[in-house]
Amino acid sequence: MAARLTATVRAATRAPRPRAAILNVTERAADRVRELLNVNNAKALRIGVRTRGCSGNAFTLDFVQEKAPTDEEVKAHGVTLYVDGKSILKILNSTMDFVETDVSSEFVFENPQAKGQCGCGESFIT
């Protein structure tokens, strides 16, 4: 006769690993998002990644009034951002900043998922 196998469950004795941030937002970026939300009378900024550009992927930014069912909510420095659920793996642990120079002002994403980018820097490959 075969031996009977049993299993038990015990509570974990160590703290769980912290969840990786979907998106980190600098104060400068949050301040600029806040200004733009007020000007555009929007509730939040939705961030996603779409297939386009010479390297294949590009960030998209859209003003929205409500969260889509698959969006992940990110609150940072008093602003609300939604990350498109289909884009999370391409955005995971990225940092969003706002940079102003003498000739431009733009949101800049530091993306650890990017393996390369096009010459102009607007699209990336994962």
In the sheet with 44-51, reading across from the earlier edge strand, the strands are 72-76, 79-83, 44-51, 57-64, 124-125, 116-117
Rounded Cα gap, residues 41 and 85, in angstroms:
24
Above 80 in pLDDT, residue 126? Answer: no
Identify the burial level of 23 via C-beta atoms within 10 angstroms of its C-beta, where 0-12 means exposed, 13-18 middle and 19 or more buried.
buried
Written as six digits, the tokens of 18 are: 């912290």
38-80 per-position pLDDT tens digit:
999 999 999 988 876 555 777 788 999 999 999 999 999 999 9
| Single pTM value for the model | 0.75
22-49 per-position pLDDT tens digit:
889 999 999 999 999 999 999 999 998 8
Q: How many CA atoms lie within 13 A of 115 on its CB side?
A: 4
Please, which residues have CB within 8 angstroms of residue 31's CB and are 6 or more apart in sequence?
77, 98
Q: What is the CA radius of gyration of the chain?
A: 20
Residues β-bridged to residue 11: none
